[in-house]
Chain A
């Protein structure tokens, strides 16, 4: 457990993250109008996830938090993945089986 740094983020990091978030917002707006086929949503989600990770690491001080906090954060990602994947494995696969074909 690291205790030396109690989440004292530097001001430079905060402004840096803010600038990066602005750039990524502009990027996602631009990307939304490009014809990327099935890739529009994955690209948008990749950008959003990048933004979220920066907020969590710097604004929410996860980078300088005890490892236990990182495990808790990972738990939320894990359970969200369970929720989405298990539900999707039912609903999104129903048409794969001929008997349910609409």
Chain B
């Protein structure tokens, strides 16, 4: 970019209102936003990574307890939620696509569909958590060591460790979903106000990146929490 004062003046006069003065153009601004978002997602990968590491260590140490405890999770609800979340990633991708076309009504429609699917996921999660409380499978003073469905013997007591990790990992994931739904509703309000056009739709794009990341976390959580012991049944 040339640094002549005149060129800078012309650029400033013609700049779109969404363009911050320290960026050369909208393209550069968007690339900076995307880079910042991706770096945030790297920290998120490591945030969840700590829990996945704990999972690997304890599962390696207490394999049978983990397999048996995993079989007590509701596979149908887990699989249903996987489908719901992947579908919500599709509607999010479509919202970003609509943003790039500047189609206001479609942006709002796809964002609301994503909110609906995300809420469905959380609703199913509530049902699952309630079930766990009712069966005394929640770690703590009321925890009762469950029976192994494969051998009909009580599981090793480290089954409690599996449920600790289950609640921490799915709880942290659900917290991300709640934040994501908040962000989606904020986008809906902005879209209604007419903030997003062909020229400027970065926030939709960035929340999209976040939402897909949360979907990816679940893509790994589902087999690691729900499926690991099914072959022993």
Q: Scoring B residues 66 to 103 as 1 if CB is less than 8 Å from chain A, else 0, what string do you get?
A: 00000000010001001100110110111011001000
- Does B35 lie within 8 Å of A68, measured CB to CB? yes
Number of interface residues of A (CB under 8 A): 50
In chain A, residues 26-60, which have Cβ atoms closer than 8 Å to a Cβ of chain B?
28-29, 32-36, 40-41, 44-45, 47-48, 51-52, 55-56, 58-60
Contact B227 A29 (CB under 8 A): yes
- From 55 to 69 in chain B, residues with beta carbon under 8 angstroms from any chain A beta carbon are 56-57, 60-61
Task: Determine if A55 and B216 form an interchain contact, defined as CB atoms under 8 angstroms apart.
Answer: yes
Q: A59-B89, A59-B93 are in contact. Are A22 and B50 (CB under 8 A)?
A: no
Whether B220 lies near A18 (C-beta < 8 A) is: no
Q: A18-B86, A33-B231, A48-B220 are known contacts. Are A8 and B100 too (CB-CB below 8 A)?
A: yes
Chain B residue, CB-CB nearest to A94: B61
Inter-subunit contact B86/A25 (CB<8 Å): yes
Residues of chain B from 193 to 233 with CB closer than 8 A to chain A in the complex? 205, 208-209, 212-213, 215-216, 219-220, 222-224, 227-228, 230-231, 233
Q: What number of A-B contacts does a CB cutoff of 8 Å give? A: 132
Main secondary structure of the interface of B (DSSP, over half): helix
Given A55-B212, A72-B35, A72-B38, verify A80-B46 contact (CB < 8 Å).
yes
Q: A34 contacts B231, CB within 8 Å?
A: yes
> Could you pull out 18 A-B pairs where Cβ atoms are within 8 angstroms?
A6-B30, A25-B79, A29-B227, A35-B231, A44-B223, A45-B220, A45-B223, A55-B219, A59-B212, A69-B38, A75-B42, A76-B42, A77-B45, A79-B49, A83-B49, A84-B53, A87-B53, A87-B56
Q: Given A59-B89, A59-B90, list of 12 further CB < 8 A pairs? A: A8-B97, A11-B94, A18-B90, A29-B227, A33-B231, A55-B212, A59-B208, A79-B45, A79-B46, A80-B49, A80-B52, A88-B56
Q: What 3 A-B pairs have minimum CB-CB distances, sorted nearest first?
A: A32-B227, A44-B223, A76-B42
Q: Give chain B's interface residues, CB within 8 Å of chain A.
A: 27, 30-31, 34-35, 38-39, 41-42, 45-46, 49-50, 52-53, 56-57, 60-61, 75, 79, 82-83, 86-87, 89-90, 92-94, 96-97, 100, 205, 208-209, 212-213, 215-216, 219-220, 222-224, 227-228, 230-231, 233
A residues at B contact (CB < 8 Å) = 3, 6-9, 11, 14-15, 17-18, 21-22, 25, 28-29, 32-36, 40-41, 44-45, 47-48, 51-52, 55-56, 58-60, 65-66, 68-69, 72-73, 75-77, 79-80, 83-84, 87-88, 91-92
